Amino acid sequence: MTGHHPVLLLRYNECHASEEPLSSIVNNETRFLQAVELGLGAWQWGDRYVWQYGQGYGDDDVHQAFLSSIAEGVRFIDTAEIYGSGRSERLAGRFLKETDQPILIATKFFPLPWRLTKNSVPSALKTSLERLQRETVDLYQIHWPTRLFSIESMMEGMVECVNRGWTRTVGVSNFNQIQMIRAYSTLERNSISLASNQVHFSLLHRDVERNGLLARCKELGVRLIAYSPLEMGLLTGKYTPKNPPPGNRGGRYANLLGKIEPLLKSMNEIGQEHGGKSNSQVALNWIIGKGALPIPGAKNAAQALQNAGALGWKLTEAEVAKLDEISDRIVQE
């Protein structure tokens, strides 16, 4: 047991001291997530409101995005019960049935105002499992915290999910440090490790570096999963003030779009130094280098293939420092 995280080591020793069955150690194993470098986000699979599903892309395109990602070695899919009102989970279930590759699947519980008791957590997971056509998921996450449903009760619901064998590990999303520690402690009392906290993290959104969340996650062995790692397409370099992204992203990013040209230019130059890496590959490699797990969304095979090219190479420390400095200037303006 040398070289393992102290919390895991403690649990291993505790289990052996009390002769707890080995199955409970296996259930609480979260290290697999530390080894995952890149995932595929599945919000795009069915969402019409933000991503205009059905306009310019559809089921076949996201299926190809899935297949291309798998072919390139991506083995982690992030979905949620609310994506496409269940369509994302249903598509994931279909795609997973058609491959014999072992794919890790993560989904999420949304604390909707009419289900705020601990029993609603396993009950929602049961419905997700039906859509996914699986008996278990690898990671079940609370999508957002809410004042209406205490973190302790949510986690008790999660403990029930683990005990029933419906999820291998437990995660949270959009939790700040205090909320995360509350989740961590409640699970810890039940001999379960908190596996992950999924939060917004990109070269254009670096709160987790500044407010200490990333450092705290590393300290506790909680994997920080980075959502919107391409800043919803902005970091690919294809959008400009004259050519803004469609839908509500246009309004949301109107101000930021006018400022990012120096960053995109520098990303492009750095990408050239690495044999012509694209801006999205640089953006994702930057996150991996920070010690987080990016889960870019892709609407089609070409985007998925390009994003998978973030693996297998590494930005230098000087390049990371340069990107940090330019991004600091943009965000602080």
Ligand X SMILES: NC(=O)c1ccc[n+]([C@@H]2O[C@H](COP(=O)([O-])OP(=O)(O)OC[C@H]3O[C@@H](n4cnc5c(N)ncnc54)[C@H](OP(=O)(O)O)[C@@H]3O)[C@@H](O)[C@H]2O)c1
Q: Compute CA 221 distance to the chain's CA centroid, rounded to the nearest angstrom.
A: 16
Contact 242, 248 (CB under 8 A): no
- Cα separation, 115 vs 124, in Å, equals 9
For the CB of residue 115, give the shortest distance to ligand X in the complex, in Å.
18
Which residues 38-67 are close enough to bind ligand X by CB under 6 A?
41-44, 51
Structure tokens at 246: 């469609």
Instruction: Please list the alpha-helical segments (H only) found in the chain.
Output: 6-17, 22-27, 31-35, 59-71, 87-97, 120-132, 151-163, 177-189, 207-210, 213-220, 248-252, 254-257, 261-273, 279-289, 301-308, 317-332
CB 303 within 8 A of CB 65: yes
What DSSP letter does each residue of 224-246 carry, written as one string?
Answer: EEEESTTGGGGGGT--BTTBPPS
Closer residue to ligand X in complex, CB, 129/298: 298
- 223-242 residues in contact with ligand X (CB under 6 A) are 227-233, 236, 238
State the nearest-atom distance from the C-beta of 304 to ligand X, in Å. 7
CB of 198 to ligand X, least distance (A): 5
Mapping DSSP onto H, E and C, the string for 282-306 reads HHHHHHHHCCCEECCECCCHHHHHH
Minimum CB distance to ligand X, residue 35 (Å): 19
Which is nearer to ligand X, 174 or 177 (by Cβ)? 174
Least distance in Å: CB of 9 to ligand X?
A: 30
- Please report whether residue 295 would count as binding ligand X according to CB under 6 A: yes
Examine the residue annotation and report whether 83 is marked as an active-site residue of this protein: yes
Q: Is residue 154 at the binding interface for ligand X, with CB under 6 A as the rule?
A: no
Contact characters 115-144, ligand X, x per CB under 6 A: ----------------------------x-
Q: Are 134 and 125 in contact (CB under 8 A)?
A: no
User: Assign residue 85 a region: left if phi > 0, alpha if psi is -120 to 50, beta otherwise?
Assistant: left
Is residue 197 close enough to count as binding ligand X by CB under 6 A? Answer: no
280 binds ligand X (CB under 6 A): yes
- If one asks whether residue 27 binds ligand X (CB under 6 A), the answer comes out as no
Site string for ligand X, 240-279 (x = CB under 6 A): -----x----------------------------------
When the beta carbons of 36 and 295 are compared against ligand X, the nearer one is 295
The answer to whether 173 and 199 have CB atoms below 8 angstroms apart is yes
Query: Which residues in this chain contact ligand X in the complex, by CB under 6 A?
Result: 41-44, 51, 78, 143, 173-174, 198, 227-233, 236, 238, 245, 280, 295-299, 303, 306-307
Residues recognised as catalytic: 83
